Structure 1
């Protein structure tokens, strides 16, 4: 509808139409309008100091990306090696940490583990929280490189 001037309305004998407030656009989630589909590989080789803080930051970053993009629009793989495997060792006894990992997995995050690290540290799969046989990759660096070659963005916090 258009707004008409009072003089034009008088001459044409039509009513004046008051401006209407336009309805606010429906709130679209950020993932539908701001970001396209994403594929991300996170390198987790731990932190030289204060690993609990680093692991908390890593898990929060994963959650923030899922929240911003939407779980149906993001594919995330966390490649764990070296001291980063301690995340999955600690989750064996830390229920809060395990719960965060479980929620991320429920949203599609994959936690890959380096077989070289497991061998070098004499770790068995059963010592790592939530790790299935298919989660073990031969080499963390080769896995990260492969994922980058097929379009995954690389993140190392």
Structure 2
């Protein structure tokens, strides 16, 4: 009988914890809960799609209901270097990271670039996008944000 009470108490406790977390997070647009998300971008070839995912994420939840941080390192850091261009679309137009980053930053998205990558790839500090914050280590910062409750997205 004691085992049954312990199991019931444990299930009830976990359920209440889940309800408390949901109540604390609050509801967002389209039935989603409010969210804190870190997007991990470490490849220039997937950066265009990653930023499109961020835009779609904001559109789904509403800008005020999600906190998004985009952490870049390795070749993905070039998405935060002015003058860097992405893939061509089917019409031959070249993707412009600067315009996209500015638009997302104006919607509340934070952008971060790895200092190790800046040094290792000899990125001109004067060409780093004005919306980008330099952080010591991209991978360490992704883990840090996860420890703080940010959900991890790797497009």
Confirm or deny a common fold (TM above 0.5). yes
Alignment-derived partner of residue 20 in structure 2: none
- Separation in 2, partners of 1:86, 1:124: 11
Match of 2:154 in 1: 156
Given that residues 81 and 140 in structure 1 are in contact (C-alpha distance below 8 angstroms), is that contact kept between their aligned partners in structure 2? yes
Q: Higher strand proportion, which one?
A: 2
Shift of 1:113: 0.5
Q: Which runs of 5+ in 1 are unaligned?
A: 1-29
- Superposition deviation, residue 126 in structure 1: 1.3
Deviations 1:46-84 (A, max 9, x none): 15xxx2xx2221111000000001100100011110000
SS of structure 2 residue aligned to 1:62: helix
TM normalised by structure 2 equals: 0.70
Consecutive aligned runs of 4 or more in structure 1 exceeding 6 Å deviation: none
Show the counterpart of 1:101: 101
Matches of 2:129 and 2:73, distance apart in 1: 14
Shift of 1:38: 0.4
Task: State the secondary structure of the residue aligned to 2:40.
Answer: strand
Q: Which runs of 5+ in 2 are unaligned?
A: 1-26, 86-94
Over the aligned positions, Cα root-mean-square deviation in angstroms equals 2.0
Whole-angstrom CA distance in 1 between matches of 2:63 and 2:127? 28
Question: Which residue of the partner structure matches residue 86 of structure 1?
Answer: 78
Residues 1:43 and 2:40 are matched in the alignment: yes
Residues matched between the structures, number: 120
Q: TM-score, normalised by structure 1?
A: 0.69
**Residue deviations 1:12-61 (CA, integer Å, cap 9, x gap):** xxxxxxxxxxxxxxxxxx943511110100111015xxx2xx22211110
Residue 110 of structure 2 aligns with which residue? 110
**Structure exhibiting the larger radius of gyration computed from Cα positions:** 1
Contact preservation (8 Å) 1:92, 1:129: no
**Which structure is higher in helix share?**
2
Equivalent residue number for residue 17 of structure 1 = none
Question: Pairwise mapping of residues 116-131 of structure 1 onto structure 2 (< 5 A)?
Answer: 116-131=116-131
